[in-house]
């Protein structure tokens, strides 16, 4: 029997079943079906507009539970959600939230709450993970009653509800967790927590990852994890907080703010890889206002064999974590693990309260590097091979002359032949005058003799052009940051940081 020979009610049911992914193709199969599909097409459009990007207020702890209510009322809802933002700033989220989600009336509706409970207690994912669904529901209800001061400060931590929401989303591609997710520290022995909650959460996340390869599985299409923290000295979350998502085969991009990977037995939060047989599929990692040392970043990069873009800016964190920082060792760690695969590399400094222990001295082993952005300051320390160190544990081998900024090599001699574009951010004239002059010496000769692919070199200066003569003598372009007097902070001078803010948000400073 042909499609047109079927009873109309059967065609209607087939159209309903084709939502959301096949409705458009199915409805175009013939004019008669297209005419019959009008109600389904209207519903498809409405659901897509409402749910494709779900923006929820970080300061409203009830939103994840409210979303579960919506899902319990219409099982098609989770099929449409491709982006979940649990950290959206109030000014944006207030505009984006569906009006009918602005109340908590479902909480006083026994049938509504029973429907959400059934969604949880019938969860096959929980059962397969060996977790008690009734206990999970009880934990969700416990965390649903929170301190209002915590709500106002965006420190609400409702992991049971959030992870249960994630179990419902098979088409999720982009995830932005709430700031309270910083409280998830399942592998940190120093965390002042019982640990049982984090263990349960981790067990369920591991189960989601294990089954993510199946067609239609939750998180099976997740491609990007976006920032959930703010920038600042006291803002910090362990890189371990998002580790559970990294082994997903669909993951391609990681964008984070204020994450730590430092094991100093004091102010840092260590990062250890807990999946010995697994690597990541990440192609892009951008870490802004973060605090990591060479050992910490090595744990991640050693498991990212496909990485093409790596960008990092350093910020001293709470209680002086990484007060002195070692961009020389950091660059060597990047080179050792992903140097040959990178096409884009950025290394900049937001706030460094102490000294550069060792400066970067070469990116020659980045054999396919096309684009590089650096701050002058990342070179302002003795190279590792000198045996010298600066900072609180400064050291100069006996009989050696102490390194000075005049010893910084020419930037041209540090670059691989593959390089196409270089951007250098300077605080000229203080303290960068001598350092910048050292970097630019012989750059014309290097471009002519060795760097045949190098098209652009830009020196970017903050709100001034006093470096113009020096820069133009070297045949380089000078760019002036904040020349319009918009009072943008120095930390946003690197072009990659401003592109980060435009592309994924997560930085409260303006562009």
pLDDT digits (tens), the chain, 511 positions: 555 656 666 666 655 555 566 556 655 566 656 656 666 667 766 777 788 777 765 444 457 898 999 999 988 899 889 999 987 544 343 334 444 444 568 888 999 999 999 999 999 999 999 999 999 999 999 988 754 445 555 556 789 999 999 999 999 999 999 999 998 988 765 544 447 899 999 999 999 999 999 999 999 999 999 999 999 999 999 999 999 999 999 999 999 999 999 999 889 999 999 999 999 999 999 999 999 999 999 999 999 999 999 999 999 999 999 999 999 999 999 999 999 999 999 999 999 999 999 999 999 999 999 999 999 999 999 999 999 999 999 999 999 999 999 999 999 999 999 999 999 999 998 878 999 999 999 999 999 999 999 999 999 998 889 999 999 999 999 999 976 666 788 999 999 999 999 999 878 654 4
In a domain, 109, yes or no: no
State the pLDDT at residue 55: 72
Other Cβ atoms less than 10 A from the Cβ of 286: the count is: 24
- Report the number of distinct structural domains present in the chain: 1
Give the tokens for residue 346.
């950025």
Closest CA to 178 of 59, 87, 94: 87
In a domain, 16, yes or no: yes
The rounded distance, in Å, linking the Cα atoms of 482 and 494 is: 11
In a domain, 510, yes or no: no
In a domain, 56, yes or no: no
Give the tokens for residue 177.
């967790």
State the pLDDT at residue 80: 86
Strand spans (E) along 352-385? 371-375
For 182, counting Cβ atoms within 10 Å of its Cβ (0-12 exposed, 13-18 middle, 19+ buried), the class is: buried
> What pTM value is reported for the model?
0.90
Backbone angles phi, psi at 374, to 5 degrees: -145, 160
State the pLDDT at residue 47: 75
Q: Which CA distances in Å does 95 have to 98, 122, 268, 377, 493?
A: 8, 34, 38, 42, 30
Closest CA to 346 of 298, 287, 428, 302: 287
State the pLDDT at residue 5: 55
The rounded distance, in Å, linking the Cα atoms of 285 and 308 is: 9
140 within 8 A of 120, measured Cβ to Cβ = yes
4 within 8 A of 32, measured Cβ to Cβ = yes
173 within 8 A of 223, measured Cβ to Cβ = yes
Give the tokens for residue 333.
């760690």
In a domain, 327, yes or no: no
State the pLDDT at residue 46: 72
Segment (H or E) for 402: none
Number of residues in the chain:
511
In a domain, 135, yes or no: no
In a domain, 35, yes or no: yes
Give the tokens for residue 260.
């730590």
473 within 8 A of 458, measured Cβ to Cβ = no
State the pLDDT at residue 59: 46
CA contacts within 13 A on the Cβ side of 32: 8
CA contacts within 13 A on the Cβ side of 360: 31
Structural domain of residue 15, as residue ranges?
A: 3-47
Give the tokens for residue 444.
């014309």
Closest CA to 372 of 456, 272, 479: 456
The rounded distance, in Å, linking the Cα atoms of 12 and 116 is: 28
State the pLDDT at residue 90: 42
Backbone angles phi, psi at 473, to 5 degrees: -60, -30
């Amino acid at each position: 029997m042909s499609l047109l020979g079927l009873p109309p009610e059967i065609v209607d049911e087939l159209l309903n079943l084709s939502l959301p992914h096949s409705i458009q193709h199915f409805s175009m199969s013939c004019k008669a079906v297209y005419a019959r599909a009008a109600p389904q097409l209207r519903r498809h459009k409405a659901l897509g507009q409402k749910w494709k990007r779900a923006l929820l207020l970080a300061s409203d702890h009830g939103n994840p539970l409210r979303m579960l209510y919506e899902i319990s009322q219409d099982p098609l809802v989770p099929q449409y959600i491709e982006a979940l933002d649990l950290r959206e700033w109030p000014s944006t989220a207030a505009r984006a939230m569906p009006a009918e989600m602005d109340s908590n009336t479902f909480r006083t509706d026994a049938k509504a709450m029973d429907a959400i409970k059934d969604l949880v207690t019938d969860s096959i994912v929980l059962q397969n993970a060996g977790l008690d669904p009734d206990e999970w529901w009880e934990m969700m209800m416990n965390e649903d009653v929170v301190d209002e001061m915590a709500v106002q400060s965006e420190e609400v931590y409702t992991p049971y509800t959030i992870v249960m929401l994630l179990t419902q989303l098979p088409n999720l591609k982009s995830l932005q967790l709430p700031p309270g997710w910083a409280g998830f520290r399942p592998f940190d022995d120093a965390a002042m927590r019982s640990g049982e909650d984090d263990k349960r959460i981790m067990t369920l996340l591991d189960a989601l990852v294990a089954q993510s390869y199946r067609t239609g599985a939750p998180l099976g299409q997740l491609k990007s994890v976006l920032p959930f923290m703010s920038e600042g000295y006291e803002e910090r979350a362990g890189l371990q907080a998002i580790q559970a998502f990294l082994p997903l085969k669909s993951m391609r991009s990681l964008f984070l703010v204020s994450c730590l990977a430092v094991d100093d037995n004091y102010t840092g939060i260590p990062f250890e890889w807990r999946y010995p047989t697994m690597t990541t599929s990440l192609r892009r990692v951008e870490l802004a206002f973060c605090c990591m040392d060479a050992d910490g970043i090595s744990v991640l990069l050693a498991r990212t064999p496909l990485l093409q873009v790596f960008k990092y800016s350093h910020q001293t964190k709470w209680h002086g974590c990484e007060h002195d920082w070692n961009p020389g060792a950091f660059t060597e760690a990047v080179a050792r693990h992903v140097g040959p695969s990178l096409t884009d590399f950025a290394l900049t400094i937001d706030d460094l309260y102490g000294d550069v222990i060792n400066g970067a001295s070469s990116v020659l082993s980045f054999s396919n590097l096309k684009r590089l952005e650096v701050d002058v300051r990342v070179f302002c320390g003795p190279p590792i091979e000198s045996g010298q160190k600066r900072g609180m544990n400064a050291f100069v081998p006996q009989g050696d002359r102490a390194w000075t900024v005049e010893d910084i090599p020419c930037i041209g001699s540090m670059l691989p032949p593959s390089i196409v574009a270089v951007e250098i951010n300077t605080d000229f004239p203080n303290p960068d005058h001598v350092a910048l002059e050292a970097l630019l010496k012989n750059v014309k000769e290097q471009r002519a003799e060795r760097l045949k692919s190098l098209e652009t070199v830009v020196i970017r200066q903050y709100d001034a052009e006093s470096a113009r003569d020096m820069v133009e003598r070297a045949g380089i372009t000078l760019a002036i940051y904040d020349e319009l007097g918009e009072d943008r902070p120095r930390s946003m001078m690197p072009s990659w940081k401003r592109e980060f803010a435009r592309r994924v948000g997560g930085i409260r400073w303006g562009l």
